[in-house]
Amino acid sequence: MTKQLPDKVPTLRVVPLPADTNAYGDIFGGWLLSQMDLAGASEATTLAKCRVVTVGVDSMNFHQPVFVGDEVSFYTEIVRTGRTSIAVHVQSWARGRTEEVDKSRMVTEGVFTFVAIDEDRKPIEVKNG
């Protein structure tokens, strides 16, 4: 299944550096996962208007590698809202820094679930859900 680059502004954009590689010099999957979590949390926080915490990651897929110096853009979309939870689909697209945007390739995607919490870190109802 071919995915098309989302027609919206990315939630997060970042460039991986040599410190983000594994022992073989490839961008570490855990680095990508953490950036996706940041992007998803930003989207969930915007909806909940309060602090959120990650409670799960579903359907995580790594499609293509990311290389040092690539510009990686993270696109988010809320796919489900529960009483206290928000599920966010996150797509990661990479391109070489000198390549045109239309040369971007989807590298990862997954669904992250967040729970809205109060100041005492207790789950609270998502008011905009």
Range of the domain at 73: 12-116
Q: What confidence score (pLDDT) does residue 127 get?
A: 82
Helix (H, G, I), strand (E, B) or coil at 102: helix
pLDDT reported for residue 44: 98
The tally of domains found in the chain comes to 1
Q: Does residue 67 lie within any of the structural domains?
A: yes
CA atoms within 13 A on the CB side of 25: 0
Has residue 106 been placed in a domain?
Answer: yes
Look at residue 1 in the predicted model and tell me its pLDDT: 39
Give CA torsion, residues 20, 25, 28, 31, to 10 deg: 10
Domain membership of residue 126 (yes or no) is: no
Written as tens digits, the pLDDT of the chain (129 aa) is 358 899 999 999 999 999 999 888 889 999 999 999 999 999 999 999 999 999 999 988 999 999 999 999 999 999 999 999 999 999 999 999 889 888 999 999 999 999 999 999 999 999 865
CATH of the domain at 40: 3.10.129.10
19 within some domain: yes
Please provide residue 104's backbone torsions phi and psi, each rounded to the nearest 5 degrees.
-60, 150
Residue 5 domain-assigned?
Answer: no
DSSP 15-67: ---GGGB-TTSSBPHHHHHHHHHHHHHHHHHHHHSS-EEEEEEEEEEE-S---
pLDDT score, position 109: 96
pLDDT value, residue 82: 96
Q: Looking at the domain assignment, is residue 3 inside a domain?
A: no
Residue 128, pLDDT score: 65
